[in-house]
Amino acid sequence: MFTTTSKRILNITVMQPKIAKNKHVCVAYLRVSTDDQADNGLSLDYQEEQCKKAAIRDGYTDINIIRDEGKSGTSLQRKGIQEVIELAKNKEISMVYVTHSDRLARNILDHAFLRHTFRSNGVELKYLNGQSSGNDAVSTMADNMFASVNQYHSDNTREKSQEATDKKARDGYWPTHAPVGYLNCENPDKLCEKVAKRIIIPNPKTGQLVTEAFKLYATGQYNTYELNQIMYEKGLVSNVGKKLVESVFTNMLKNRLYLGEIYWRGISVKKGKHEPLIDEDTFNKVQSVSTKHVGGRCRRRKYFWLLNGYVFCPIHNRRFCAEFHLNKSKAYYHCPHRDGCGKYVEKSDLEKQVSDKFKNLQFEPEFVNSIIERVKLIFETRRNDYYAKHRGFLNRKNAYEAKLKTVEDRLIDQTLSKDDYTRIKDEIKAAIAVVDSQINSLAKTKEVNIDTASEILNFTKDIYNVYMRSPEQLQKKFIGFFFERFEVQNGLIIKYRYSPLFEGLIQEKVLFYKTSKPEKALEITADSEVIIDPKLGAYRDSNPN
């Protein structure tokens, strides 16, 4: 019954004056992730019903129901959404209905992409529960905020599951897929603690081959390419039965997990709980052979380059590059022009200058209020919806319990046999258990709703703190949301330009600066930062796009 293909469910032929064929065609886009599926508040049927109602109310006669079932909103690689995009691009539709913006996307870039695709093809977008999706600046702002919040939730969920895996790693258990040579399995010790339920053990087929690969490589007689081929012929394959990709094989030879150690997202445990496949001596020999082979290349530390793509050198009009300076153990951004600009800017320094820019941003109280009003409305709608459903479930439960009482009475009256009584009683008990589980999963949606509301409120109140608290990935999206570029000279941000979206908002006067000193906009000195008064218009260079 659930497919991702569209089907026209209503095709009422009415006499119409000749107009573009798409005018009466709309899409109801429905999505559930695997997590949502058990959840009534998000079921496909519920979404379909809501969207259909709205479409009929708006006078649509041709409604395409497009579903993505069991698909996460974190990517657009979904058959259904791709179909919607196609229909929009071919201008075959004029409206898309979704129950809530998070059905479309759980990340701000995808969300922006969809909006743009719809808008540029004359397709309207309507959310049934939630913010308006009009094209005015305030609605766009609100819409983008919801998109950030949707993403925040997705990131937050990931962080939570990371907490669990981190704990497992700290306790000495490898928390994820077993690398080649090991197998994931249940702990045979049934009384073990919870983190130890799933463990890794040497793979009986490939474990010994991994050991052998280390020993052969340690002789210095082989390069990784040859050795990978030799080991493959001996039967060393990945856990899905394929020959190891070159990089996997090379990384295997560097992986300290085989020594019995655990390295997981910054956590290191010298004595893991799994059985090592290699001794320290062989491992060290392998590392020294490997260093000789690649000419002693140094291992780079990993950094997240928050500002990549946003920082420019105004003299050479080049994007800054990010670099880790080995001698000084510090990370820098710098102008990559061959003559150089002399100065490198320390990563943390420049990133702090950017975060300070967020300090200056504040929303007009009226704007905050309008957002809060919207949030309240959404929240109330959802809460009413929640209580209505909750009541429905309780009524059902009560009805079952009344039924149970009736059959008990009939057993006592002896109008029901003992066997029939047992059968009916079991059926009713099972039905009650189902209702109970529905009530439980409904309670989960309520928590999420409250979180969403409070996140949005926090966001509008104090953008700087939200920015500072966010994980780097999300910070980067905030930067992209507000800013288009920063120009840096002598280590200081001397000019910056807002994103087109944000500039639109400034013109709508929904934002202002805390520092509303009427500075002259483009007066630049080497050591002072320009404060741009939004009333004078943000800085633009000769190429506004």
Q: Which residues bind Zn ion (CB under 5 A)?
A: 313, 315-316, 335, 337, 341
Q: How far is the CB of 343 from Zn ion (least distance, A)?
A: 9
Q: How far is the CB of 545 from Zn ion (least distance, A)?
A: 22
Q: How far is the CB of 335 from Zn ion (least distance, A)?
A: 3
What is the Cα Rg of the chain in Å? 30
**Whose Cβ is closer to Zn ion: residue 145's or residue 313's?**
313
Q: How far is the CB of 339 from Zn ion (least distance, A)?
A: 8
Give the angle subtended at the CA of 533 by the CAs of 531 and 536, to the nearest 5°. 130
- Written as six digits, the tokens of 43 are 């079921």
Q: How far is the CB of 133 from Zn ion (least distance, A)?
A: 42
Cα–Cα distance for residue pair 538/215, rounded to 1 Å: 64
Cα–Cα distance for residue pair 367/383, rounded to 1 Å: 24
**Whose Cβ is closer to Zn ion: residue 81's or residue 335's?**
335
Q: Give the orientation angle of helix 500-507 with respect to helix 137-170, to 10 degrees.
A: 130
Beta bridge partners of 496: 486
Question: What sections of 235-346 are H helices per DSSP?
Answer: 246-252, 280-293
**Whose Cβ is closer to Zn ion: residue 200's or residue 335's?**
335
Cα–Cα distance for residue pair 452/459, rounded to 1 Å: 11
Q: How far is the CB of 494 from Zn ion (least distance, A)?
A: 12
Q: How far is the CB of 163 from Zn ion (least distance, A)?
A: 43
Residue 448's SS3 state is helix
Nearest CA to 505 out of 125, 143, 131 is that of: 143
**Whose Cβ is closer to Zn ion: residue 311's or residue 407's?**
311
Q: How far is the CB of 344 from Zn ion (least distance, A)?
A: 11
**Whose Cβ is closer to Zn ion: residue 25's or residue 313's?**
313
Q: Give the orientation angle of helix 108-120 with respect to helix 472-482, to 10 degrees.
A: 30
Residue 235's SS3 state is coil
Q: For residue 54, give every residue at least 6 positions away whose Cβ sits within 8 Å of its Cβ, in sequence order, or none.
A: 97, 126, 128
- Written as six digits, the tokens of 382 are 């959802």
Q: How far is the CB of 318 from Zn ion (least distance, A)?
A: 6
**Whose Cβ is closer to Zn ion: residue 335's or residue 511's?**
335
With residue 64 as reference, give the H or E element that holds it: strand 62-69
Cα–Cα distance for residue pair 48/53, rounded to 1 Å: 8
Cα–Cα distance for residue pair 278/44, rounded to 1 Å: 51
Cα–Cα distance for residue pair 289/219, rounded to 1 Å: 8
Q: How far is the CB of 320 from Zn ion (least distance, A)?
A: 8
Question: What sections of 30-78 are H helices per DSSP?
Answer: 44-57
Nearest CA to 307 out of 152, 150, 493 is that of: 493
**Whose Cβ is closer to Zn ion: residue 338's or residue 514's?**
338
In Å, the largest CA–CA distance within the chain is 101
Nearest CA to 208 out of 177, 182, 172 is that of: 182
**Whose Cβ is closer to Zn ion: residue 168's or residue 334's?**
334
Q: How far is the CB of 311 from Zn ion (least distance, A)?
A: 11
Cα–Cα distance for residue pair 128/56, rounded to 1 Å: 13
**Whose Cβ is closer to Zn ion: residue 163's or residue 527's?**
527
**Whose Cβ is closer to Zn ion: residue 316's or residue 396's?**
316
